[in-house]
Amino acid sequence: MQFDRLKFDAKRNARKFVQGFLGSGKIFRMGALCFAGLLVIVFVLGFVPFSSPVLKQKVENIINESFAESCSIEKLTVTLWAGVTVKKVQCAWRDPTGVFYSCTVPEAGISYHALPLIFKQLIIKNITLEHPCFMCKLPAQPLGADKPRGPFSMDKFTDALAGFPYKVLISNITLSKARISVTQERSVIMDCSGVGLSMKVGFDRGLTLKGSCGVDSVALIDAWHATDFRAGITINGPRIAVDDCKADCYGGRISFKAAADLSRSLLENASMAAAHVKLDRWYADEKAGPGRLSGKLDMSMTFEQSALDMDSLKARGTAAITNVAANDLPIQRNLLVILAIPKLATMHFSRISTDLHLEKGKIYNEKARGEGDPMDFTAEGRVDMKGHFSERINAEFSGDFMRTLPQFVQKSLLSVEGDPDKRAFNCSVSGTFKNPHVSVDQRIVNRAVGNVIDEIGKGLGKLFGK
């Protein structure tokens, strides 16, 4: 009986254990289902965008403390698994020299790796700026040496990020369809549209960026346009280098490379070249003036080390234009009136060449020489960044051409030492290409007036039979 009793108790205890285990399994399953449901809810919420005024204010503070005097963000939206979207960013600042900068970004996107956020790390895969506009307005006159430009430094940006609750690492920066414009008063120094930029970010002994840039259209000093611009860019701390830069320019090709140290506001080196630029396309596309001009331009310039300022840049180079044909240009019209030589309406030059010298914001042409028909010439002068020029020209007409001109015109011109068949004239030309002012040597003017009076006297004498 005792054995049966023990057997009965053992079965009852086993039954209770099984029932208790099965009951706790229900709790376990319920807990697992709740946890899975919570994960699904979190996952779904991770794709729901929400605005964050606190984060928006933090980003504005970082930008203001880094470089900008004012910065505003219309809206900042966070989608946990997708990234951050920023709407209408506007920044502006002025440096000590009076240069005013502004930046407007209609939309910016920031994509990142979500998992590192748990460990207080923000690893950004890409920052994309859509259709940003960067404007730089140069003052009419520098504010003076008593307000020097402060050196460029990433220290402010690093210090501003130190207050951010996450450690920030950036992998890539992309600009899409950007515009960059540099103006001075009402003149456009540079205008780039359709700018695309992709930069890989690294931290090799400091911040480094390396990538490529493409620009649909580049306009320089209201006079020259280039298309399909491509370049490689490397930024290592405050040092920036541009290489393998090429663009199409009026049927020709231009190339450029440069390196600068922004911490010292210093251009370390630079060079540029233009090959086979067609002047007829330039003259027609830019509507440079009435008449027609054709020829093929080749030039090169090498820049010296100098301050990063338009008036401080120094460079030397050469330029040559071959197979030049000019017809009815404004300067030719003025010469026609002054010299009374109709054939000057059409000129041809097999070659025009000159040395170039850039200094204090002006390009000086030295030892310029043209070889052509009906004249050869030498010239020296300068042109500024706004297209205003001043030239002193000495021209010599060939003997064959002189024999086709009336005697009173031949007598008005200057004789050429060593060649009695040739005649010469000197003149100064200033103004713009569309509106030049020509002033001929006073000796020629006096001779022309005297010869005209003589011709009138002879005509009157014949008229009255004397």
306 domain residue, yes or no = no
- DSSP class per residue in 319-337: EEEEEEEEES-HHHHHHHH
**Nearest in space to 348 (alpha carbons), one of 305, 377, 381:** 377
What pLDDT shows up at residue 317?
95
Residue entry with tokens 């709740």: 34
Distances (CA, A) of 161 to 61, 71, 117, 358: 10, 16, 16, 42
- DSSP class per residue in 67-133: T-SEEEEEEEEEETTTEEEEEEEEEEEE-TTS-EEEEEEEEEEEEE-SGGGGGTEEEEEEEEEES-E
**Choice between 207 and 28, residue whose per-residue pLDDT is larger:** 207
**Nearest in space to 160 (alpha carbons), one of 91, 263, 61:** 61
What pLDDT shows up at residue 184?
80
Confidence of residue 68 (pLDDT cuts 50, 70, 90): confident
Count the helices and strands in the chain (H runs, E runs): 8, 24
410 domain residue, yes or no = yes
What pLDDT shows up at residue 463?
38
**Choice between 278 and 237, residue whose per-residue pLDDT is larger:** 278
**Choice between 221 and 281, residue whose per-residue pLDDT is larger:** 281
What pLDDT shows up at residue 404?
84
CA distance 196 to 1: 96
Segment 396-417 shows an average pLDDT of 82
Phi, psi of 42 (to 5 degrees): -60, -40
Look up the pTM and report it: 0.76
Asked if residues 131 and 106 have their Cβ atoms less than 8 Å apart, the reply is yes
pLDDT in tens, 18-50: 555 445 556 656 656 665 666 555 555 555 677
pLDDT in tens, 131-172: 999 998 888 765 454 444 455 555 666 666 666 667 777 889
For residue 326, the cross-strand partners are: 293, 347
- DSSP class per residue in 131-182: S-EEEEEE-SS---TTSPPPPP-SHHHHHHHHTSSSEEEE-EEEEEEEEEEE
310 domain residue, yes or no = no
CA distance 466 to 461: 5
10 domain residue, yes or no = no
295 domain residue, yes or no = no
Peptide bond into 132 cis (omega under 30): no
Across the chain, mean pLDDT equals 80
**Choice between 407 and 331, residue whose per-residue pLDDT is larger:** 331
CA distance 128 to 176: 7
What pLDDT shows up at residue 256?
92
Task: Show Cβ contacts of residue 236 under 8 Å, excluding neighbours closer than 6 positions.
Answer: 204, 206, 207, 208
427 domain residue, yes or no = yes
SS (HEC) of 336-360: HHHHCCHHHHEEEEEEEEEEEEEEC
Domain that holds residue 374: 50-215+330-457
Asked if residues 410 and 398 have their Cβ atoms less than 8 Å apart, the reply is no
Confidence of residue 220 (pLDDT cuts 50, 70, 90): confident
pLDDT in tens, 419-444: 888 888 888 999 888 888 888 877 77
Lowest mean pLDDT among 15-19, 99-103, 115-119: 15-19
| The pLDDT of residue 295 is above 70 | yes
H helix or E strand, kind and range, residue 22: helix 2-45
Asked if residues 360 and 344 have their Cβ atoms less than 8 Å apart, the reply is no
**Nearest in space to 77 (alpha carbons), one of 53, 111, 45, 113:** 53
**What tokens appear for 160 in the block?**
């501003």
**Nearest in space to 332 (alpha carbons), one of 370, 380, 291:** 291
**Choice between 202 and 274, residue whose per-residue pLDDT is larger:** 274
What pLDDT shows up at residue 333?
84
Query: Residue 118 is which amino acid?
Result: I
- 461 Cα distance to chain centroid: 67
How many domains does the structure of the chain reveal? 1
For residue 425, the cross-strand partners are: 395
297 domain residue, yes or no = no
What pLDDT shows up at residue 122?
76
- 73 Cα distance to chain centroid: 26
CA distance 153 to 262: 8
Cα angle value 85/90/94 (rounded, 5°): 145
392 domain residue, yes or no = yes
Asked if residues 112 and 123 have their Cβ atoms less than 8 Å apart, the reply is yes
H helix or E strand, kind and range, residue 457: helix 442-463
